Amino acid sequence: MDIARTPATPDGNPEMADAAPDPVDPALFRRKDYRPFPWLVPEVAMDFALGLERTDVTTVLRVARNPAAEHADTIRLNGDEIEPAGVWVDDEPASDWRMDGGDLIIPLSGDAHDIRVDTVVAPSANTKLMGLYASDGMLCTQCESEGFRRITFFPDRPDVLSTYRVRMAGPKAQFPVLLCNGNLEAEGAGEGDHHFAEWHDPWPKPSYLFALVAGQLVANSDSFTTMSGREVALNIWVRDGDLPRTGHAMESLKKSMRWDEEVFGREYDLDLFNVVAVSDFNMGAMENKGLNVFNTKYVLADEDTATDGDFDGIEGVIAHEYFHNWSGNRVTCRDWFQLSLKEGFTVLRDQLFSQDMGSAPVKRIEDVRVLRGVQFPEDSGPLAHPIRPDSYKEISNFYTSTIYNKGAEVIRMMRTMAGEQRFRQGTDLYFERHDGEAATCEDFVRAMEDGAGLDLGQFRLWYEQAGTPRVIARLEHDGTTAKVHLSQEVPATPGQPHKRPMPIPLKLALFDRDTYERGEEQLVVLDEAQKTIAFGGFAETPVLSINRGFSAPVTIAREASRDDLVFLAARDDDPFARYEALQELVVRQLKDAVEGKLDSEARDKGELAIGDALSAVLADGNLDDSMRGELLLLPSEGYIAETLAVADPARIHAERRGLRAVLGRMLEAEFVALHDRASAVPFSLDAEARGARKVKAQALVYLADGNPERSAEMAFAQYQGADNMTDRQSALMVLTGLDGVERTNALIDFYNRYQGNALVIDKWFALQASSMHPHCLEHVKALAGHRDFTLKNPNRVRSLYMAFAANPHAFHAADGEGYRMIANLILALDPINPQTASRFVPPLGRWRRIEPGRSALMREQLERLAAADLSRDTAEQVSRSLG
């Protein structure tokens, strides 16, 4: 889904094992308390009588004692907001069952039994969008992580693997398409106007991978021939009017299937692969075996309604969910503490796929930007946790950037240390050993040790310790020898005040500043508190390029002069290192400005150095425009705030916009020329045209601060002449931050043009909520009352309020109104959809890192939330944020 062998052998040690509630705090689950479930459930049969208001479910479980578990005289079947309509054991009505909270407890005396449980669910009333629910007249399911228990009573945990046979029946006019996991075995007419379909999934799976969809759908159908010659039928199911926008998703699916065969040797294992697009969905997508359910956002695209970023997002998410077929489905996770086993690994796989489909350097920079923008703040705040947590109260709160993005970086480090060939040997061994099993992070690490020949004893600390390591690098030159002195610090995080040194693989190289020649790149593993590496053959002090390719997810503090950074920004042959030098040049300038360390002369020198570096980027004929666009991006306000002990959002915003205005004026002619050149490139989805659109947008952004009047004219002309959504949206983005008739006319035109297209209207809301307009907060309040706004659709809620919470200029209003707005939203949304509501707590949880005035206002709203009657999801986030 779209969220050790030395003394530390966590998953091999019975005292470091998951999933039983803590005896002191029943709401707390600890990894060390893991015990295998007492009963195996090898086969499940389900019968659904479908209806939007009422669906009747009959479930038959074939259970047998688990020889690897402790003996139990009862079986606990999890339930959530459902009641048993009938319970049978071995075809006899059971009378001695009881309820324990939401769970059904049934006494069992023998070694094997058949258990039947009848339940009734109300899909239309299910606003939580977990379990079986209705979406725009369609029935669909979301079962990860604990949604299956909202459909029927079941041991709803990932280490219980079963094969499923499912019969679905309902009115044919209402539900002409009936889909489930696996292969379709039978279908036909039922009683009256009803029809049925019978499905069988031959591969054992946990209940969280169960899926069912019924509704009025049409399919974009195709096929794929696997490397062994099997033909797989492919279908992407959508509403009738959306069919023309599914071509890119289908091509992305076929590319993913071929790539996974070629790069990881993984072949698809069913006769059928279905994807369904759903408009009401809490997540991005879900990898249910053979029946992926997707948010429409990650399926539907054409040039008029989707940006280049949307096309990339669809390709990446389609790939991610498909790759889960092996890294998540065929090998699943033993318990939810191992979530990064499937998600971190699969994120890495989709990142590598996207690198191969486009520009690898650009993709790497994009992924690092996401990591720094979301995961680094998480790692330095009250919600910090290791990629394999030790405890939780609500597992949905651990679908985090740490699990996904940092988890991917940890596995990428193994790949860096092993090399591509040996890494493939390790993954092959992992799949071979654990196919059909519920595995652990430790199982993956051991397979990498044995298959790739790595010693990962100390490396296991990456799974245990939270926090982003900080590496201090100092270059010393004496005679012809250059020495790089490295040291590391791992900051304290909640529950982990003291840390051990981590093994940090760093790619580094030295440049001769006169000849521009680079010495051989080296991979150095900093596995102790301090280390020194010597390089010979340098008559003059060289320039250090470090963490090339972002070989480790750390922050670097280096004693590099401004001249060194300008040198690297212009000369480094590693694209990420070049990007990093530019980022560091800007961050230093803005930090000093925010902290009041710049006099007028120092400010002018810094601005001139940055202007020279950007001028070199604009003039470099060897750069493609996609990379040029990345190099032109200034560090975000959130990233700058992370570099400060205490951040003043207003000061950061003012200084960053001020710098961009200076650069916009300094390089106005160059930006106008860049915009003119890029505007002459005709639309296509090839790399050149996409790059042109990217730099065209950046030119407008700089000009918007440097020369607002000229930018408004250019942006409005671009908006009116746009033949694609990327150009139209980037122009509207600039216009929303400006005053004037152009802004009003463009917003009205955009809404009228796309009224009725939910995904594009989401963009309309988000652009206004994320704008730099001085009255953005008032605009968001007005939009919350718009007839197209609803709290019942997660996409619409995120488009307005998540965009606003990520807008530091508006969210951090000095009077605290932005904080009150988000707290009000949480209180209103929590009873409807707790999972979505809880996602809005972390922005308030950054209060410790904000200047005192705003900090007190943020904490005040958290305390207000803490006093309310909240769901378990949201209450845990609020409690942890307060500390």
- String of DSSP letters for 666-677: HTHHHHHHHHHH
C-alpha to C-alpha distance for 485 and 532, rounded to whole angstroms: 4
Cβ contact 765:732 at 8 Å: no
Cβ contact 131:151 at 8 Å: yes
Q: What is the DSSP string of 25-57?
A: -TT-EEGGG----SEEEEEEEEEEE--SS-EEE
- Largest CA-CA distance found in the chain, in angstroms, rounded: 93
User: Can you read off the two tokens belonging to residue 75?
Assistant: 């079986």
Q: 228 — phi, psi (to 5°)? A: -95, 5
The full 3-state SS of 229-275, as one line of letters, equals: CCEEEEEEEECHHHHHHCHHHHHHHHHHHHHHHHHHCCCCCCCEEEE
Task: Pick the closest to residue 815 from 781, 854, 850, 852 (CA basis).
Answer: 854
C-alpha to C-alpha distance for 575 and 334, rounded to whole angstroms: 39
User: Can you read off the two tokens belonging to residue 454?
Assistant: 């790595």
Residue 479: CB partners within 8 Å, gap ≥ 6?
none
C-alpha to C-alpha distance for 330 and 431, rounded to whole angstroms: 8
User: Can you read off the two tokens belonging to residue 538?
Assistant: 């340098």
Pairing of strands 481-489, 530-536: antiparallel
Tell whether the torsion through CA atoms of 724, 730, 734 and 736 is positive or negative. Answer: positive
Residue 744: CB partners within 8 Å, gap ≥ 6?
none
Q: 377 — phi, psi (to 5°)? A: -60, -40
Tell whether the torsion through CA atoms of 93, 98, 102 and 103 is positive or negative. Answer: negative
Task: Pick the closest to residue 363 from 512, 517, 621, 579 (CA basis).
Answer: 579
Task: Pick the closest to residue 594 from 664, 661, 650 (CA basis).
Answer: 650
User: Can you read off the two tokens belonging to residue 467?
Assistant: 């926090």
The H or E element containing residue 650 is helix 649-666
Cβ contact 314:301 at 8 Å: yes
Kindly list the strands in the beta sheet with 470-478, ordered across the sheet, starting from the edge strand earlier in the chain.
Answer: 530-536, 481-489, 470-478, 555-558
Residues of the chain with pLDDT under 70: 3-24, 26
Cβ contact 765:793 at 8 Å: no
The H or E element containing residue 352 is helix 339-357
- 517-557 pLDDT, tens per residue? 999 999 999 999 999 999 999 999 999 999 999 999 999 99
C-alpha to C-alpha distance for 735 and 757, rounded to whole angstroms: 22
Tell whether the torsion through CA atoms of 513, 514, 515 and 520 is positive or negative. Answer: negative
Q: What share of the chain is helix, strand, coil (3-state, %, to 5)?
A: 45, 20, 35
Residue 103: CB partners within 8 Å, gap ≥ 6?
76, 77, 78, 79, 153
C-alpha to C-alpha distance for 630 and 627, rounded to whole angstroms: 5
- Answering whether pTM is above 0.85, one says yes
User: Can you read off the two tokens belonging to residue 129?
Assistant: 């969008």
The H or E element containing residue 311 is helix 308-323
Round the CA-based radius of gyration of the chain to a whole number and report it.
28
pLDDT of residue 23: 58
Q: What is the DSSP string of 408-476?
A: HHHHHHHHHHH-HHHHHHHHHHHHHHHTTEEE-HHHHHHHHHHHH----TGGGHHHH--S--EEEEEEE
Three-state secondary-structure class, residue 567:
helix
C-alpha to C-alpha distance for 843 and 226, rounded to whole angstroms: 45
C-alpha to C-alpha distance for 846 and 523, rounded to whole angstroms: 35
Any idea of the CA torsion for 560, 564, 568, 570, to the nearest 10 degrees? 150
Q: What is the DSSP letter of 850?
A: B
- On the CB side of 183, how many CA atoms lie within 13 Å of its CA? 9
- Residues known to be catalytic: 321
C-alpha to C-alpha distance for 636 and 647, rounded to whole angstroms: 13
pLDDT of residue 19: 46
C-alpha to C-alpha distance for 738 and 706, rounded to whole angstroms: 12
Task: Pick the closest to residue 820 from 799, 801, 798 (CA basis).
Answer: 801
